[in-house]
Structure 1
Amino acid sequence: MKPIMSKYLTILAGNPRGGEKTWESLYKYVIDHLNSDLAICTGDKWVSDVSLFEKADFKWIFNEPEDWYEYYENNFKGNWKEFFEMGKDTGLYNSGNIHFAIKDIILKNYFEELKKYEFIIYTRFDQFYTDYHINVNDEDADNIWIPEGENYHGIGDRHAIIPNKYIEEFLSICDYVDSKESIINPPDYLNCETAYLRFLTNNGLIENVKRYERLQFTSATKKDKTNWRVPKYKVYMMKNLLIKYPDEFIDSVKNSLKDNKFSYFFQEPILCITYFYLSIRRIFGKTIKS
């Protein structure tokens, strides 16, 4: 850990996907830039000899169940099952259930550690950062900050900056899932993002949510396992690095280029080349369709 207590704790939750190139972007643009402490929270079957396990200040390793619904059966007695069954074809049933349970594990086992920091950056292993992460100013310290985009009829759930005073409510999504409120007037399409929005609305945290320009995209390697979207696009000249959502990548690099186009090209030339290629491809795709 750093000699001086950090303002931030960055938590990577889930399976260690994305690979070393992705994690190098995390170190450069988030951890080192913000002088943030780093916690990784993952299942015991994912522990391996990668840089994350050397870099992390905290290693929160849990016994991963073969069936994640066993976790809910052992810890909750309400209508969680009915809730998840409403999202069988949307990613909620086989992906959201894992992400929600990990938040519950962190809340129940590491809450006292979280309280030592001003802000928690709650994110995933597979986020590739294209530029320097925002640093929350004192005047904005009462807000929960979430990158723009990737809403899918709800609100993006892959990354958030949460002030200390809201972190307990933010992590308590399993309590909401298990409550009667979660199944009242559900949307026609209940996915992770709509569930996240309904949860934040139910506990009032949505009033404190603000958005900022996206500077990260979801990456993968060819060996990464996924419970939902399979990546098809690659970052050129970066061996084994794939893009899961092209629009997310394009928005991130576009935002990075906004104020310093010339210098950013030299900062991240490979990302820029891939950006121009995908942008042109998207334009031609729209032209052909029309």
Structure 2
Amino acid sequence: KEFYQEGIVDTKTKFWAQGMEGWKLMERIPQLKWTMLASGQSLLNESDMCALILDILIQMCDYYPSRDLITNSIIRPLPKIKRILNDSTCLPHLVQLLLTFDPQIVEKVVVLLNLLIQDNPMLTTFYMSGIFYFILMYTGSNILPIGHFLKYSHLKQAFRSDLEQTSQNKQNDLIYHSVLGHMLPEAMICYLENYGPEKFAQMFLGEYDQPETIWSNEMRRLMIEKIAVHLADYSPRLMSNIYAVYQYCNIPVINYPQLENELFCNQYYLRHLCDEKKFPDWPIKDPIALLKDCLQM
């Protein structure tokens, strides 16, 4: 900005940054065009304009569903609007809007993503955009759309190599197959699968200490901190260069101190399950499967 004010650079100066296809004139780079060159009074601020654009994209995706409304048959090829949004030049930047942490924008982005992932043949690679990191870092309370997104997509990510899939004998291990396995406790993933996004959203926002789930705001804060450390300088870098694209790197397993002395089996914490005073007659979904898993531990 100082160089521009001093006349060292002008609208015809070419710039390049990570994520850009090549050198571009200053007036052709939106981030510089609207923050430095634009003058006058804007009709909308950045957040309102973003929300309006997202509303338009949501409506367009609604107009072109992925399934036939009468026969429920999958439509191929994927509708054009979804192919465009699914492209590597668009999807990463759409996902990065989650890092604004603006409740209105985050909710609209997730609603749009929920429309985009339906019967999407490229869904298995969505994890590469960092979406599961960004989405779990969100600190707001309007997470029901997030619950729907996680429920539909977390087991459909091809984040493990073919060698890992064949060398590991964990066919029935939910946490192994879920892309959330390194971030959330196994009990939370089981709860998402067993009870659906509505119950999961309620659990995720609350404080629970029971046979099926141990979760608290403190554990959520720890998870967010660990993910933020893993992302390192990406968020600050994105603020200075909106073209920057996240380069996926698998996060180490997050260990929760609250669970150090807990034994989780099947879908229950055994200490709580055996506590008949606090949790009398707690329903066991599949007693035989629980017994088998206990014997195999």
Answer 1 or 2: which has greater strand percent.
Answer: 1
Answer 1 or 2: which has greater helix percent.
Answer: 2
Larger radius of gyration: 2
Could you state the TM-score of these two structures normalised by the residue count of structure 1?
0.25
Could you state the TM-score of these two structures normalised by the residue count of structure 2?
0.24
